[in-house]
Amino acid sequence: MTQTPAYLESKSHYKILDGLRGVAALLVVTFHILEANNGGSRFAQIINHGYLAVDFFFLLSGFVVAYAYDDRWGKMGQWDFYKRRLIRLQPMVIMGSIIGAIFFYLQASPTVFPLISATPVWKMLLVMVIGCTLIPIPISMDIRGWQEMHPLDGPAWSLFFEYIANILYAVIVRHFSKTVLAIFVAIFAGLLINYLVTGPQGDVIGGWSINKQQMSIGFTRLLYPFFAGILLSRLGKLIHIKSAFAVCSILVFIVLAIPRIGGTEHLWMNGLYEAFVIIIMFPLIVAIGAGGELTGKTATKVCQFFGDISYPIYITHYPLIYWYTAWVIDNKVPMGYSLCIGSVVLVSSIAIAYACLKLYDEPVREWLRKRFLVKKA
């Protein structure tokens, strides 16, 4: 009995893009840690635009999906594509839901999470099982009080939209010419600008609840960056500079860390800034990252490590954040002391992510690859 690959082997990675995904993921964790001390005000948040990392992830995903699959459709069908994407993403979705369930009752808080203490175990386990499928739950099934579609692991909302984008790509968008795709990308950019400049928030925060407003925000955040990433990959207009990883990392940090612009009286100013970042800066950063080269062993190892933990840390860190946020707010912990514990949360998040990667994610994905992506002959 011999085995032959059912499909082509995975293509080589853009290592700098992998590293940048890790940089952005670590900034997301830091953003969420600091969020506990903002007094409930997005205007006072340190690393104020950390949430834009999600939009950066969408653009990276579009770019990588187009690079990996655009030229393979003659050798695979839609179900083959779906299997590949599920094997890549779904194991850690399941782990994120399980970790969320383990930490759930430790996060009980009368002020921050009022529903936890009144939630029976059977209902929490039901939500965990549903979370493992990535099917969003309605607000009526909320067990935390934040109206999240995945109340055990909040960031899973972006994976829900990522799956939708992958389906749209496989069913429709892969057939688009560059011209047609560019027209749609321009339309999506217009919708994004309109929401950011004329909308009620002046930012793209939102997308994690199953209601009309939040779903609208989610799709507005998804459509431009994901399909702009596809277009960028197809155009192939990459930028070649020295020290690309360092330059791009600095740019990512700057655009995510800039304080809120315009205050409460001029929301459109911050909206205009975010539109500029998502529409111009993120494609520029990806073009530089994809066009750059790693020349040193240290930089290569850093990019590989950051890339390896980027998805695991993003999808598993939030149960710790729930606990940390409740602790800070309930006990009115001053920032100086809370950040000491926050640094422990950051290190713990990295450790949990790495352990999940090596002990669970990689072995499971390898087993699934052999089981479903390799034909026996």
- Under DSSP, is residue 264 helix (H, G, I), strand (E, B) or coil? coil
Residues 196, 268: Cα–Cα separation, whole Å? 7
Q: What is the pLDDT of residue 375?
A: 66
Tens digit of each residue's pLDDT (9 = 90 or more) over 39-52 = 889 999 999 999 99
Task: Give the distance, in angstroms, between the CA of residue 337 and the centroid of all CA atoms in the same chain.
Answer: 29
Residues 81, 222: Cα–Cα separation, whole Å? 20
Q: Is the pLDDT of residue 292 over 70?
A: yes
Percent over 90 (pLDDT), the chain: 92
- Under DSSP, is residue 302 helix (H, G, I), strand (E, B) or coil? helix
Q: What is the pLDDT of residue 88?
A: 97
**Of 289, 227, 221, 225, nearest to 252 (Cα)?**
289
Residues 29, 350: Cα–Cα separation, whole Å? 10
**Cβ atoms of 28 and 306 closer than 8 Å:** no
Tokens of 63: 């770019």
Per-residue pLDDT band at 1 (split at 50, 70, 90): very low
Domain spans of the chain? 3-369
Tens digit of each residue's pLDDT (9 = 90 or more) over 306-352 = 999 999 999 999 999 999 999 999 999 999 999 999 999 999 999 99
Q: What is the pLDDT of residue 376?
A: 55
**Cβ atoms of 293 and 244 closer than 8 Å:** yes
Using the Cα atoms of residue 269, residue 247, residue 220 and residue 27 in order, give the sign of their dihedral: negative
Q: Is the pLDDT of residue 31 over 50?
A: yes
- Please count the other Cβ atoms lying within 10 Å of the Cβ belonging to residue 264: 9
Tens digit of each residue's pLDDT (9 = 90 or more) over 180-223 = 999 999 999 999 999 999 999 999 999 999 999 999 999 999 99
Residues 229, 262: Cα–Cα separation, whole Å? 29
Pairing of strands 374-376, 3-5: antiparallel
Q: Is the pLDDT of residue 2 over 60?
A: no
Residues 49, 259: Cα–Cα separation, whole Å? 7
Residues 87, 83: Cα–Cα separation, whole Å? 6
Distances (CA, A) of 277 to 188, 238, 321: 15, 18, 26
77-98 average pLDDT score: 97
* Amino acid (one-letter) located at 191: L
Q: Is the pLDDT of residue 278 over 60?
A: yes
Q: What is the 3-state secondary structure (H, E, C) of 138-204?
A: CHHHCCCCCCCCCCCCCCHHHHHHHHHHHHHHHHCHHHCCHHHHHHHHHHHHHHHHHHHHHCCCCCC
Distances (CA, A) of 298 to 266, 295, 301: 44, 9, 5
Q: Is the pLDDT of residue 377 over 50?
A: no
Phi, psi of 4 (to 5 degrees): -125, 140
257-282 average pLDDT score: 96
* Amino acid (one-letter) located at 288: I
Angle at CA of residue 87, ends 85 and 90, nearest 5°: 90
